[in-house]
A and B are shown apart, each in its own frame.
Chain A
Amino acid sequence: MAGPIESSPRPTPATALHLGDMAATGRSGLTALLKVALLLARHEARLARRDLAYILTAGHRWRLGTVLLVLAIGFVFMHVLAYGMVGGYAAETPAANLNIYIPLTGTILLALLLMLSQALERVTRLFYMKGDLDLLVSSPVSLRLIFMLRIGNTAVTTLVMICFVLIPFVNVLILHGGSHWLSIFGLAVAGACTTSGFALILTAMLFDTMGPRRTRLVSQIVSAVVGSAFVIGIQAAAILSIGRMSQEAFFTSDLLRSHAPEMGSLLWWPARAALGDGRALLGCIVLGFGSLLVPMLVLARHIGNYAASAGSAVLSARQQLSRLGWFATTSARLLLWRKEWLLLWRDPWLASQSLMQLLYLIPPALLLWRFYGHDRGALIVLAPVLTMAAGQLAGGLAWLAVSGEDAPDLIATAPISPARALAGKVEAVLMLVFLIFAPFLAGLAGLSLEMTLVVALGIIAASVSSTMIQIWFRSQAKRRYFSRRQTSSRLATFAEAFCAVSWAAAAGLWLQNPIFATVPIVVALLILCAARALRPA
């Protein structure tokens, strides 16, 4: 990483590599600037490539072959999935009607929110992640150039991420409809530029209004919420207006059609561009580049200040009301419970990450509210949703308590047995999960005791399974690496996910016919046995 930077020719003051000095330094200055820009771009690309490799292999290069094989199988599977989802739309052309424009625009909006979530996280990291920033900032290269390249890199990374998802769909559409569907990639370029530019504006606004310390937290929370908010919002709207928890129902509803603008509206340009309309595509791309370049150039002069203030944010300590009474006990169990709860409460970013699953509970909560006392049949869907959410939530919280212990030596040298310390943490996690799901169970109890019992058992089974998997696969890590916890053990991640899915299926099927539930129950137990057998020594 440091090698290429240090080995590059150090520019003399006469050829200082500042954007503003370009005119003064003339042609040689411009050449030097381009050389450094190229060097930095290659540097960024190499870092991004290594970052991706690390995410895929968790730092174990020998896993790369297996990972590539799994990706290849997944890629083929995605084509099958894509055929089922979009195969019927392949014959559409730009001259389509609102029945196509509305769902296509909704899907594009959904993809844009996903890209915005990714871009926001990357732009925030750009200012706060130390890494090689000190080296680059202390070099004679213009800070504006460094950040402009890094923001450009954010757009490229966002584009690569969305292309991974798009390729199978575009392949299917091209195969069955023609090459005009290639325009989707052009639209993806426009989307990556637009969302990166918007992420930059939003981050700058946060810096100016909230200061460097809160910007990081708020931006990370916004990034996480944006990633899921649209799907949840659509589902909530579908439940309230139509009564079915389906995005498709919402996009094809008369309600939306009656409020949609005319066919010639600019709002449909992205949809028209996706369908192969060259003029609309060009418009989208120009708008996309513009929405990235304008904030980049306007904000470039402030970027150094943002980076500097982000670097000094950690020095401004904040007075905190101590909760000494909270720890006024000599019961190790109580102390460990309270410690876990306090640490989670005081870290809103971690809390937002681990409690993100709760956002997905909003649609079932609305469903419960809407059909309360009317239609019990529709509520059966709650059993798998709640069970799945409980499993995922318990897995995240268990990772924080067990692997994300920030003072492992303290707990290990305390005069309590390791089993007791572990039990205290597990109890803290499970109590929190049950506290969160208790209102749902109370609501269900008014409708059906059988359903309440099944959902409660599903929540218990999924939570305990996820927690056990986290205990078997625990590995010491800093809490701040929570969002990358999956990379430490893919096996644990898959076991946890499949186990939660199996318990969710069991809960749903039990309410239809208990006999059907035996299969997913056996699958869940087999997964647990396999996970235990494969746990690290």
Chain B
Amino acid sequence: MNQITANQQVPSAAGPAPALQVAELRKRFKQPAVDGLSFSVAQGEFYALLGPNGAGKTTTLRIVAGLMRPDSGSVGIFGIDALRDPIAAKRITAWVSDEPMIYDKMTPMEYLVFVAGLWGVAPAAAARRARDLIAMLDLTAQADERCEDFSKGMRQKVALAGALVHDPRLIILDEPLTGLDARAARLVKDVLKDRVRQGSTVVMTTHILEVAERMADRIGLIGRGRLIAEGTLADLRTRVGRGETSLEDVFLTLTAENETPDDAAEG
């Protein structure tokens, strides 16, 4: 299996392709979940996708990760059309959800070697990377225990290690810090920052605005499946016209603006 790692570049005629290019994405369930969403994430960027509950964040990321087909629109990952060639896009992408789905009857080491194998990492390299990640995520003591007895935080760390073991260029995370204690959350944040420093791109949703404020290079704010605002924290502060305000205030102001009078009446 061919594998494109973080160090390889996908050739592009017009300069480096964005790590993620979402254009006019639409997905409707009973109501539109994603409604013409477009945004772009540069290579090596840490991008936080924020929005109120039901804004369409998870649906968007699930489409990007190849877990769902959109009704229309396009998704480009490092220049690869992820909807036309999902296998090529998946080779360089990793997905971590808020609900860690791992195999209870496997040990973390077995899980990581299995995941690495699925992404075509050679067995010797897989075992080495798995050991490194297990040490990095403070799981050494549990490396050879079955995951069935793990706490939510430990399971989330195993899932994150699984996402990183094949050295992805784009890491997509949906609320990865949910349920983690302070120490585990710090560990995960450090690992993600480290990956960005090494050249990987991270796209993450979170309800913890402090995390987005501290870690993200840019923030995309979505509501009702559409992009409300996008930019650095400074850009967003300028947009609401308050220079020193917190991201929480920015978030509340912009999402309130996005609500229609009907919404307000419903609320």
Q: Which residue numbers of A lie inside 8 Å of B, CB to CB?
A: 314-324, 326-332, 335, 339, 342-343, 346-347, 406-417
A328-B114 in contact given A316-B149, A319-B145, A343-B105 (Cβ < 8 Å) = no
Contact yes or no, A412 B66, CB < 8 A: yes
Looking across the interface, which residue of chain B has its beta carbon closest to that of A346? B105
Set of chain B residues within 8 Å of A315, measured between Cβ atoms: 149
A-contact 0/1 string along B94-129, CB 8 Å cutoff: 110100011111110110011101111111001100
Set of chain A residues within 8 Å of B123, measured between Cβ atoms: 327-330
Set of chain B residues within 8 Å of A406, measured between Cβ atoms: 101-104
Q: Shortest Cβ distance from B86 into chain A, in angstroms?
A: 8
- B72 CB-CB contact with A under 8 Å: no
Question: Count the B residues whose beta carbon is within 8 Å of the partner chain — how many?
Answer: 42
A320-B67 in contact given A330-B1, A330-B121, A339-B114 (Cβ < 8 Å) = no
Q: Shortest Cβ distance from B23 into chain A, in angstroms?
A: 21
- Selected contact of B144 from candidates A321, A339, A410, CB within 8 Å: A321
Q: Shortest Cβ distance from A324 into chain B, in angstroms?
A: 5
Q: Which residue numbers of B lie inside 8 Å of A, CB to CB?
A: 1, 65-67, 87-88, 90-91, 93-95, 97, 101-107, 109-110, 113-115, 117-123, 126-127, 142-146, 148-150, 162
Q: Shortest Cβ distance from A253 into chain B, in angstroms?
A: 46
- Selected contact of A407 from candidates B103, B113, B119, B144, CB within 8 Å: B103
Contact yes or no, B67 A413, CB < 8 A: yes
Contact yes or no, B110 A413, CB < 8 A: no
Contact yes or no, A320 B144, CB < 8 A: yes
Contact yes or no, B119 A415, CB < 8 A: yes
Set of chain B residues within 8 Å of A407, measured between Cβ atoms: 101-103
- Selected contact of B127 from candidates A324, A410, A412, CB within 8 Å: A324
Contact yes or no, B119 A410, CB < 8 A: no
Set of chain A residues within 8 Å of B127, measured between Cβ atoms: 324, 328
Contact yes or no, B146 A330, CB < 8 A: no
Contact yes or no, B142 A320, CB < 8 A: no
Q: Tell me the bound Cα distance from A327 to B113 in angstroms.
A: 6
A327-B144 in contact given A406-B102, A407-B103, A415-B87 (Cβ < 8 Å) = no
Q: Shortest Cβ distance from B45 into chain A, in angstroms?
A: 21
Contact yes or no, A343 B103, CB < 8 A: yes
A332-B105 in contact given A324-B110, A414-B119, A415-B90 (Cβ < 8 Å) = no
Contact yes or no, B105 A415, CB < 8 A: no
- Selected contact of B106 from candidates A331, A342, A408, CB within 8 Å: A342
Looking across the interface, which residue of chain A has its beta carbon closest to that of B88? A415
Q: Shortest Cβ distance from A443 into chain B, in angstroms?
A: 33
24 CB-based A-B contacts, threshold 8 Å: A314-B148, A317-B142, A318-B146, A320-B107, A320-B144, A322-B109, A327-B110, A327-B113, A328-B126, A328-B127, A330-B120, A330-B123, A335-B117, A342-B106, A343-B105, A406-B104, A407-B101, A407-B102, A410-B162, A412-B67, A413-B95, A414-B119, A415-B120, A416-B87
Contact yes or no, B118 A416, CB < 8 A: yes
A410-B146 in contact given A327-B110, A330-B120 (Cβ < 8 Å) = no
Q: Tell me the bound Cα distance from A347 to B148 in angstroms.
A: 11
- Selected contact of A329 from candidates B101, B103, B117, B145, CB within 8 Å: B117
A342-B105 in contact given A315-B149, A318-B146, A327-B113 (Cβ < 8 Å) = yes
Q: Shortest Cβ distance from A278 into chain B, in angstroms?
A: 53
Set of chain A residues within 8 Å of B97, measured between Cβ atoms: 409
Q: Shortest Cβ distance from A184 into chain B, in angstroms?
A: 44
Residue with the highest number of chain B CB atoms closer than 10 Å, among A323, A408, A414, A415: A415
Q: Shortest Cβ distance from A321 into chain B, in angstroms?
A: 7
Contact yes or no, B90 A317, CB < 8 A: no
- Selected contact of A324 from candidates B67, B95, B113, CB within 8 Å: B113
Contact yes or no, B101 A410, CB < 8 A: yes
Contact yes or no, A318 B145, CB < 8 A: yes
Set of chain A residues within 8 Å of B120, measured between Cβ atoms: 330, 415
Set of chain A residues within 8 Å of B101, measured between Cβ atoms: 406-410
Q: Shortest Cβ distance from A425 into chain B, in angstroms?
A: 13
Q: Shortest Cβ distance from A256 into chain B, in angstroms?
A: 45
Contact yes or no, A410 B115, CB < 8 A: yes
Q: Tell me the bound Cα distance from A513 to B88 in angstroms.
A: 54
Set of chain B residues within 8 Å of A410, measured between Cβ atoms: 101-102, 115, 118, 162
Known pairs A320-B144, A327-B123, A328-B126; list 18 more (Cβ under 8 Å). Answer: A320-B146, A322-B110, A324-B127, A327-B113, A328-B113, A328-B117, A328-B123, A330-B1, A330-B121, A331-B117, A343-B103, A346-B146, A406-B102, A409-B95, A413-B65, A413-B67, A415-B88, A417-B87
Q: Shortest Cβ distance from A413 into chain B, in angstroms?
A: 4
Set of chain B residues within 8 Å of A331, measured between Cβ atoms: 117
- Selected contact of A320 from candidates B114, B122, B145, CB within 8 Å: B145
- Selected contact of A413 from candidates B66, B146, B150, CB within 8 Å: B66
Q: Shortest Cβ distance from A285 into chain B, in angstroms?
A: 44
Q: Shortest Cβ distance from A373 into chain B, in angstroms?
A: 43
Set of chain A residues within 8 Å of B67, measured between Cβ atoms: 409, 412-413
Q: Shortest Cβ distance from A331 into chain B, in angstroms?
A: 8
Q: Tell me the bound Cα distance from A414 to B65 in angstroms.
A: 10
A323-B87 in contact given A330-B123, A346-B105, A414-B118 (Cβ < 8 Å) = no
Q: Tell me the bound Cα distance from A412 to B65 in angstroms.
A: 9
Looking across the interface, which residue of chain B has its beta carbon closest to that of A338? B114
Q: Tell me the bound Cα distance from A315 to B149 in angstroms.
A: 6
Looking across the interface, which residue of chain A has its beta carbon closest to that of B66? A413
Residue with the highest number of chain A CB atoms closer than 10 Å, among B97, B104, B105, B118: B118
When A and B form their complex, which 3 residue pairs have the shortest distance between CB atoms, in order from nearest? A328-B123, A346-B105, A415-B90
Q: Tell me the bound Cα distance from A315 to B113 in angstroms.
A: 25
Q: Tell me the bound Cα distance from A375 to B119 in angstroms.
A: 55
Contact yes or no, B149 A415, CB < 8 A: no
Q: Tell me the bound Cα distance from A330 to B165 in angstroms.
A: 14
Q: Shortest Cβ distance from A97 into chain B, in angstroms?
A: 55
Q: Tell me the bound Cα distance from A352 to B196 in angstroms.
A: 47
Q: Tell me the bound Cα distance from A415 to B88 in angstroms.
A: 7
Q: Tell me the bound Cα distance from A329 to B65 in angstroms.
A: 24
